[in-house]
């Protein structure tokens, strides 16, 4: 791991981020959503709603930013040059993740402060947030490496948002609590984070860790595919 190379990648990406209007507007989505819910005048928001904001932030900001940045490198044919440069895989991932992490942190903190951040100021919820960030980050990187253009990322972003980001809303669609659909969705990262939060249990955190490992494996496979792609 080379700090200078990571810093150079970070500086380049932060400049690219500031020039991209689509990326600049994505962090506003959870903030605006939080403001809308705050206007309802509820004194205490349910945990499901708070985690909906979390899911929206990680999918619309974390995954979306990484997808777009990696796909843009692919489209401009600069990603392969970056991969073949002296910078290692770890240098590239950390350098690009710093920009996304910073933007995600600001968007998430602002959104939760609007609705009430106190429920998250404990070890288990914070651990869940960190693992969810890593899951959406790795997923976004993998899809971005897989995508050939920025336009194609929108096709992949929608399933990521609805399957993983908006998971807390699935229960509002009328599915049976004991049905196969809810059983499957209950194993998803955001739902496991809610369970860990509600029950102060580390078991769901372990399941989220498995999701992170699967996303990391997906990212690595996509990276190797990019390296060997002629």
Average pLDDT over residues 174-191: 82
- Give the pLDDT mean for 143-169: 84
Tokens representing residue 52 in the block? 């909906």
**Residue range of the domain that includes 28:** 3-228
Are 74 and 229 in contact by the 8 Å Cβ rule? The answer is no
Give which of 128, 123, 86 is closest to 1, Cα–Cα.
86
Q: Is the pLDDT of residue 230 over 60?
A: no
The rounded mean pLDDT for the chain is 85
Total tally of structural domains belonging to the chain: 1
Least confident of 6-15, 37-46, 161-170, 205-214: 37-46
The answer on pLDDT for 181 being more than 90 is: no
Q: Name the CA radius of gyration of the chain, rounded.
A: 18
């Amino acid at each position: 791991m080379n700090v200078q190379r990571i810093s150079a990648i970070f500086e380049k990406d932060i400049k690219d981020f500031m020039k991209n209007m689509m990326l600049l507007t994505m962090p506003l989505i959870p903030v605006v959503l939080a403001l809308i819910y705050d206007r309802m005048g509820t004194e205490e928001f349910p945990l499901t709603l708070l985690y909906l904001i979390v899911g929206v932030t990680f999918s619309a900001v974390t995954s979306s930013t990484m997808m777009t940045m990696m796909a843009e490198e692919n489209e401009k044919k600069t990603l392969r040059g970056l991969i073949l440069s002296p910078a290692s895989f770890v240098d590239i991932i950390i350098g690009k993740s710093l920009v996304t992490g910073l933007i995600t942190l600001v968007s998430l903190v602002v959104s939760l402060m609007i609705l009430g951040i106190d429920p998250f100021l404990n070890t288990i919820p914070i651990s869940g947030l960190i693992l969810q960030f890593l899951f959406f980050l790795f997923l976004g990187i993998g899809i971005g490496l897989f995508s050939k253009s920025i336009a194609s990322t929108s096709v992949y972003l929608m399933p990521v948002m609805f399957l993983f980001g908006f998971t807390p809303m699935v229960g509002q669609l009328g599915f049976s609590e004991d049905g196969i659909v809810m059983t499957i969705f209950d194993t998803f990262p955001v739902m496991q984070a809610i369970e860990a939060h509600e029950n102060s249990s580390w078991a769901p955190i372990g399941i989220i860790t498995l999701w992170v490992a699967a996303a990391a494996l997906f990212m690595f496979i996509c990276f190797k595919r990019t390296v060997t792609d002629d």
